[in-house]
Structure 1
């Protein structure tokens, strides 16, 4: 049995978020269940996408205003093409939580995990709901 030493630092800013996001995406792109959903990044560009995701998480965790995207719309499009199943949301959350736990510990790390859980539940409901018109 391998015992990993728990990290001793908390998420404290953009550099940490970038490290976390990159670690998560490396794992997601190699994951048999999630890789097909993330394959679009080969077209749009992983590095550019990681900046946007970093902006999103920086806003979630540190209340910045850099993110200016259409979070639900993007995930609805992914759902239409790949079927964002309950299993895929659970796997996404599992990989995210593992990445956080492998890199960080503390209040912000805990918030990154709890916010991801709430986000996964909300997104799962949201991608299935029709857009409001009018």
Structure 2
């Protein structure tokens, strides 16, 4: 079966991840539910942040082992400032899923959506436990 030239292809390269991240962050930075939490990037700088997040997703999807960051402490600090509750994580997953679906289709795209949902659920639960401890 031939695909039309405009049909989405699967996530396959770091360039694909970078394209996905740009689309997602363009939306998240202006989303009424998320913009306050993402405003911290104005200090760090999106151009410095995206390669780190790209390393993370490249490791998650392609097993590169490039990511050397610490996901939980960063999100714990954001949670203290902005209250990253379940509703915000749900919104994040919705924007991520919409961004993936707008650009890609295939096994890696599906895995990117499933991993995002699992990561969001785990982070949300961990932050909830830490807040109530």
| Runs of 4+ with deviation above 4 angstroms | none
8 Å contact kept, 2:9–2:106: yes
Q: What secondary structure is seen at the aligned counterpart in 2 of 1:93?
A: helix
8 Å contact kept, 2:37–2:82: yes
Q: Which residue does 1:97 correspond to in 2?
A: 97
For residue 128 of structure 1, report the CA deviation from its aligned partner: 2.5
* Aligned counterparts of 1:14 and 1:32: Cα–Cα separation in 2: 29
Q: How many residues align?
A: 127
Q: Which residue does 2:14 correspond to in 1?
A: 14
Distance 1:84 1:62, change over 3 A: same
For residue 129 of structure 1, report the CA deviation from its aligned partner: 2.8
Q: Which residue does 2:3 correspond to in 1?
A: none
Unmatched runs of 5 consecutive residues or more in structure 1: 1-5
Q: TM-score, normalised on structure 1?
A: 0.91
Q: Give the alignment's Cα RMSD to 1 decimal.
A: 1.6
The answer to whether the aligner puts 1:35 opposite 2:40 as a matched pair is no
Q: Which residue does 1:49 correspond to in 2?
A: 49
8 Å contact kept, 1:37–1:78: yes
For residue 29 of structure 1, report the CA deviation from its aligned partner: 0.4
Q: Which residue does 1:65 correspond to in 2?
A: 65
Q: Which residue does 1:3 correspond to in 2?
A: none
* Aligned counterparts of 2:114 and 2:79: Cα–Cα separation in 1: 23
Distance 1:87 1:7, change over 3 A: farther
For residue 8 of structure 1, report the CA deviation from its aligned partner: 2.6
Q: Deviations over 1:57-85 (max 9, x none)?
A: 00000001110011011000000000001
* Aligned counterparts of 1:109 and 1:117: Cα–Cα separation in 2: 13
Unmatched runs of 5 consecutive residues or more in structure 2: 1-5
